[in-house]
Structure formats: structure tokens, C-alpha cells
Amino acid sequence: MKRMAIVGSGRWGRRLAASFKNHFDITHFASEGNVDNIISFSKLVPDALHCNLSQILDNNSIDAMAIAVPISELYNVGYRSINAGKHVFLEKPGAKSVHEIQSLSSMIKEGQVCHLGYHQLLDPSYIFFKKKLNSTKCNIKKIVFSWKKWGSFENDILLNLVTHELAMMIDLIGEPTEIINAHIKEDACNLHINIGNTEVIIDIDRRSFFNDKSVNITTSYGDFFWNSEPNLVDTQSDRFINSIEKQYDMSDLELGARILKVIEEIHH
């Protein structure tokens, strides 16, 4: 079994550890977070040694790293981890800018895996729709992404949440030809985007008292609707270990750069 280290012992770092320990021997974790998080992580993975990032990077017995740190730290930790030759699972968006994520991409060596946490691309309903789209050759007329939730207030709403919807949009039909409207508040946003003849609406509210995440797509074949699957971390970890062992689907960094390019266009 390959050996892994986790960087970050917060809620999401522990969620990744709970999933990845089914595929890896998690031997180390690095965290500068609060003591309660560190204690909780140690209870989850009792044999993992708490250490600092440099000790992990210098340890040649560690094959892979899962990184769940604040967005402001993703690039620095990702850069050092890739440079150390580790396979890297890096939480989205992977960096704060196109320049940063392109820098990470340029460092990837042959046989090295780097995945980003865009788990909505692995949703069974999304995969079903893509197959139907390819088999019917229908045209997408309109996409409405809607997400109501409570929480994750500490991060920029575009980098933290909108990136998930942009990943699906770009994967399906590409980058915007025109950004019609971008109404952005601290905890809510509404984006109206055109891609050729396709209209895309992204509507997110992270101060909603009910939780609902849906995708509604109008095509020339008919309408498709689904509520997003909330528990896809195990599917992510399956994909990561398969990429390492079978050497395919190696890097998500090009997609990550395309997503951040749209974010920069929205900001401007």
C-alpha cells in the first residue's frame, strides 16, 4: 500500500483522510491549526505522526499528499509538494491566479499525478448527462446552476464555490464568449454568461437556511435536471489512486487554469 501524508487537519482535511485511508497508509499529517483539530485528526488516524510540512517533503517513503489548506496557502504548499516529487491531491481551486496554477503545471514531471478537488465532475448524474449529450449530439441551449447552503463564509465566494459550477460549464461547453452580468456580494452571487448560443446562469447563496444544489439544462433533445450528489469524496479518492497505479488522467491543472481565467475575467 502506498504511503500518504495529509496537510491540514480541519474539517475538510479530516474528510479527505477518512476517504484516502481506504487506499493509502496515512503515515503523517501536518497542521498548524487549533489543538482540537489536531486531536480529532489523531483520533481518526491514530498511527499518523503529527509533524511539519518540511519533514513530509523530505521523507522519500511518502508517495502522495492530500492538501486541504486555506486558498491563500494552496499554491505555496502545492508548489513545494510537486517540487518534492509527490503525487498531489490539491483542494480546488489549487491557486489564486492563472499565473500560479500555470506555474504548478509547468513543474509536473512524467508519471506524476496532480488532481484538483472538482468532485462535481464525478457526479453520476453529470456523467449520465455527458454520455446522453454525446450520444444524441443535441445542443445545449441553457444551463442554470443553483446552490443554496449555509457556511464556508471565510473564503472568496468565486474561488471557493463558483469554481465548482465553472468546472462543469467549461467541461461541457468551454469558456465564456461574453459575461453579461456579474452581481457579486460577500455571501451571494448571480452570474449571467453567454458561450456562443448557450446561456449560463450561476446563482449561489451561502446564507440560506436550507441546502439545495441543482443543475437544470435545456437542450434541443429535452430538459435535464438533477440535484448534485453531496458525497463524492470517495469517488475522488478512487480516481486519484487509479491515476497513480494505472498512469492515466494525470493532471487537472489545465482545467484549473481555465477556471481561474474565467474568475479573473469576472473580477475585471
Model confidence band, residue 229 (pLDDT cutoffs 50, 70, 90): confident
Q: What is the CA radius of gyration of the chain?
A: 19
Model confidence band, residue 137 (pLDDT cutoffs 50, 70, 90): confident
Q: Is residue 13 part of a domain?
A: yes
How much is the pLDDT for 153? 86
Residue with cell 435535464: 224
Mean pLDDT to the nearest integer, 13-39: 95
Mean pLDDT to the nearest integer, 149-162: 93
**CATH number for the domain harbouring residue 217:** 3.30.360.10
List the domain range (segments joined by +) for residue 188.
Answer: 124-228
Strands (E), 52-161: 64-67, 87-90, 114-116, 140-150
What 3-state DSSP class applies to 96? Answer: coil
- Structural contact between residues 224 and 193, judged by C-beta atoms closer than 8 angstroms: no
3-state helix, strand, coil in the chain (%, to 5): 40, 30, 30
* Same domain assignment for residues 7 and 74: yes
How much is the pLDDT for 127? 97
* Same domain assignment for residues 7 and 115: yes
Mean pLDDT score across all residues of the chain: 96
How much is the pLDDT for 230? 82
Lateral strand order in the sheet of 198-205: 178-184, 188-195, 198-205, 140-150, 207-219, 223-227
- Structural contact between residues 250 and 243, judged by C-beta atoms closer than 8 angstroms: yes
H or E, element range at 56: helix 53-57
* Same domain assignment for residues 148 and 245: no
At CA 114, angle to CA 113 and CA 119, rounded to 5? 120
What 3-state DSSP class applies to 153? Answer: coil
Mean pLDDT to the nearest integer, 27-37: 93
Which among 214, 187, 220, 185 has a CA at the least distance from the CA of 201?
Answer: 214
* Same domain assignment for residues 70 and 132: no
Size (the chain), residues:
268
* Same domain assignment for residues 135 and 215: yes
